[in-house]
Structure formats: C-alpha cells, structure tokens
Amino acid sequence: MTIDLDVDHSSPSDGLSTVQRRSAVLEELVHRDPGRFRVLTGDRPTGRLHLGHYFGTLHNRVRLQNLGVEMLVIIADYQVLTDRDVADRLTEHVEDLVLDYLAVGVDPQRATIFTHSAIPALNQLLLPFLSLITVAELGRNPTVKEEIAQSQQSSVSGLMFTYPAHQAADILFCKANLVPVGQDQLPHLEVTRTIARRFNSRYGGGLEIFPEPDALLSAAPLLLGTDGTKMSKSRGNAIVLASSADETARSIRSAKTDSHRHISYEPATRPEVSSLVLLAALCLGRDPRQVAEDLGGRGAAALKETVTEAVNAYLAPIRERRALYAQDRGHIRKVLRDGNERAAAIANTTLTEVRSTMNALY
Ligand code: ATP
Ligand code: MG
C-alpha cells in the first residue's frame, strides 16, 4: 500500500509548532478522505493507561477509527525492557492495556490490537533498518536521553539505545502514514522518517516502498503529572483512567501547583497550574482560558476541585465499560489472538517485499 499525502515534508527537523500546524492540515485531509490513511500507535505494557495517554493519543485514536481510518494498535512488550531488567507482571499489564482500549472505544472489529513479541516478521525488519541509521543519530535522540536519566538501570542497554529504530519497524511494517502520539515521540518519528527515506533511496530504485509517516499531535501533547513532570506510567505521578473516583480526588489534591492565588492559563510560565486547567477544559469541552477566568482568584484548592469533578464525570462511563469488559478475560485473549494473526499476515507480506527489494529472496 502506497499513500501520497499533500503535506510539505521539506523540513524534517522542525519544532513542535510546525508539527502542530502540520497536524491541523492532516486533520483536514483525514476528514476529506479517511481511506488514504493507515494509523499505527501503541503503548508499553508497563501499567494502566492514564489521562496523559487519553488526551495525548487515545482520544485521537478513537476519533480517527470512528472517521473510518484503518487502525493498528501495538502493545510494545519488548520495549518494556528498555529501562528495566525484567518486565514484571507482563501478562497482567498487557491485558490491562486491552481493557483500557476497549473501555475508551477502540473497536477490535475495526482496529488490530497486537503484541510486539508475537510478530517475528516485524522484528526482523529491525536488522536492515539498523543499517540505515548511525550511532551518532541514535545518540542525539532527546527522548532517549531523558529516559536514560529516568531509567531504573545503572547502565544503558543496547535495546534502550536502539529502540527508536525498533519503533520504525513497528510503524513501517504496516506502512502506516499517520501516528497519533504525544510530544515525547516526535524525535522517534524523525528516526522512522529517516529510515523510510533511506530505505527507499538505497533499495527502492525510484519506488516508494515505505511512506514517511506523520505525527498527529493532540491539544495536549504533553500533559503533566502530579509532580509537574510528564505524566508517565512509570513515575508514580499519573491520574489513571481505571482508578476510583476517590483515588482520583486524592491524586489531584496532591498535584503540584505554584504560590500565585490567581488562576491563569499560561503554559510557558505556569506549567503545573496550566496543565490542571487544560485537563479540566478538555474534560468539560471548554476553552482553558475561560476555565481559568471563571476560577479567577479562588486559588489552587478550587482549581483542584473543578479538575476532580470534571475528570470523574468524564471518566465515569469509561470506568463503567472497563469494569464490564474485565469480567470476560477470555474475550481479551481472543482480541489479542485475532489481532496478532492479522498483524502477522501484514508483517509477512512487508518482509517478503523488503527481502525481494534487497535481493535477499532465495
Ligand atoms: P512509561 O513511563 O512506562 O514509558 P508512558 O506513560 O510514557 O509510560 P508510553 O507507553 O511510553 O507511556 O506512551 C504511549 C503513548 O502515550 C505515546 O504516544 C506517548 O507520546 C503518549 N503519552 C504518554 N504520556 C503522555 C503525556 N503525559 N502527555 C501526552 N501524551 C503522552
Ligand atoms: Mg514512555
């Protein structure tokens, strides 16, 4: 499948605002012709999904799926090992991710949900792809540097260093051209685009074997956690989708704010307060500036109360659906089996094409 997009790719190392502008153009193209797009996104099975996932990417996934875009969702189980020695409670975390997907509206009839380790042909793409990227390029990746700093390991494994190339295989095995992600993923998307471009020019002989996929950013590309850093499953700072209303209230009460009583929406200068305002606004479907204006001089306690009410009301139906799906683990296993089968068929086709292009079919 080769898909051409009318999007300017002339400046690959552009900043956040350029990607945001491009996301707006992509939105228009998707609405005009959803059939031109194939989406790949995914998550590490390191814990339950949180509001950063939801407003960073999950909400976009469901929206795109409902617009008729073909969707693949990867559960990146090998990637758990980038920053820890052992993938603890892996089966439980994988099943939790599937439950979260179903609860937010990912439809396994339309979307292919699969696990990384179950698709050998996808993983084999890593070998030629590693030859297309330099050690210096891998070493410059700011997200990998940040994750190394946060890692539970004292030294950097080969997997941590090379996982953006692995992620290129995740995206390109199905020739996805659209990747709804949070801001932390933008450097990885650049690695994928570089690998696609180099593969095409080195082996394609003028043909586009792989598309250069675009990131699709949401209105919340970097939601902060209760400690004021990126909300993450692994940092103990997340507001988890599946939590109870009380746990959610406790966690929002503990969120870091600042010493100014007047509430305003100024992401650059007041990141913690602004992230909370944004969260309330997203749940209420309102403009964050207006939410801040309404709160005015009522201070952080009132802000947190507003956020708690908005989040709990927004998540109530999602939590209800999750509890229902959780009663049928057999269904979860079947969703994964079916998804793995579909993904394996796509990966086998792509690997055959890659080997043929490289004159390696014997
Ligand atoms: P971990 O701490 O285990 O790495 P994580 O919370 O960073 O977990 P990932 O599985 O690494 O979650 O990320 C899955 C997807 O969710 C990626 O597209 C990522 O950009 C997006 N995402 C994760 N956290 C946030 C956030 N705080 N704001 C916006 N998007 C996010
Ligand atoms: Mg992460």
pLDDT in the model for residue 337: 98
**Residue 96 beta carbon below 6 angstroms from any ligand 1 atom:** no
**Residue 93 beta carbon below 6 angstroms from any ligand 1 atom:** no
Q: Which ligand is nearest to the CA of 231?
A: 1
pLDDT in the model for residue 8: 39
Q: Is the pLDDT of residue 35 over 70?
A: yes
Q: Report percent pLDDT > 90 for the chain.
A: 93
Nearest to 278 by CA among 311, 244, 232, 237: 311
pLDDT digits (tens, 9 = 90+) for 317-345: 999 999 999 999 999 999 999 999 999 99
The Cα–Cα gap between 68 and 29 comes to: 13
Q: Is the pLDDT of residue 124 over 90?
A: yes
Q: Give the 3-state secondary structure of 136-186.
A: HHHHCCHHHHHHHHHCCCCCCCHHHHHHHHHHHHHHHCCCCCEEECCHHHH
Q: Is the pLDDT of residue 13 over 50?
A: no
Superfamily of domain 16-222+329-357: HUPs (3.40.50.620)
Mean pLDDT for the chain? 94
**What is the pLDDT confidence band of residue 152, given thresholds at 50, 70 and 90?**
confident
pLDDT digits (tens, 9 = 90+) for 189-198: 999 999 999 9
pLDDT in the model for residue 14: 54
Ligand 1: which of 184, 240, 282 to mutate, judged by most atoms within 8 Å of the beta carbon?
A: 184
**Residue 57 beta carbon below 6 angstroms from any ligand 1 atom:** yes
Residue 72 phi/psi, 5-degree rounding, is -120, 135
Q: Is the pLDDT of residue 7 over 50?
A: no
Dihedral of the CA atoms 49, 55, 56, 59 (nearest 10)? 90
Q: Is the pLDDT of residue 273 over 70?
A: yes
pLDDT in the model for residue 6: 41
- How far the first Cα of the chain sits from its last, in Å, is 24
Region 159-172: mean pLDDT is 98
Region 223-227: mean pLDDT is 96
Dihedral of the CA atoms 248, 253, 254, 257 (nearest 10)? 130
pLDDT digits (tens, 9 = 90+) for 292-304: 999 999 999 999 9
Q: Is the pLDDT of residue 172 over 70?
A: yes
Token pair of 194 as six digits: 């570089």
Q: Is the pLDDT of residue 4 over 80?
A: no
Q: How many CB atoms lie within 10 A of CB 227?
A: 16
The ligand 1 atom nearest the CA atom of 180? 18
32 vs 10, which has greater pLDDT?
Answer: 32
- Residues sharing a CB contact under 8 Å with residue 11, sequence separation 6 or more, in sequence order: 18
What is the DSSP annotation of 33-52? Answer: -GGG-EEEEEE-SSS--BHH
**Residue 45 beta carbon below 6 angstroms from any ligand 1 atom:** no
What is the DSSP annotation of 313-352? Answer: HHHHHHHHHHHHHTT-HHHHHHHHHHHHHHHHHHHHHHHH
pLDDT in the model for residue 1: 38
The ligand 1 atom nearest the CA atom of 183? 20
Q: Is the pLDDT of residue 70 over 50?
A: yes
**Residue 60 beta carbon below 6 angstroms from any ligand 1 atom:** no
Q: Could you tell me the distance, in angstroms and rounded to a whole number, from the CA of residue 307 to the centre of ligand 2?
A: 24
- Domain ranges for the chain, please list them: 16-222+329-357, 245-326
Token match 């051209």: residue?
177
CATH of region 245-326: 1.10.240.10
Region 82-92: mean pLDDT is 95
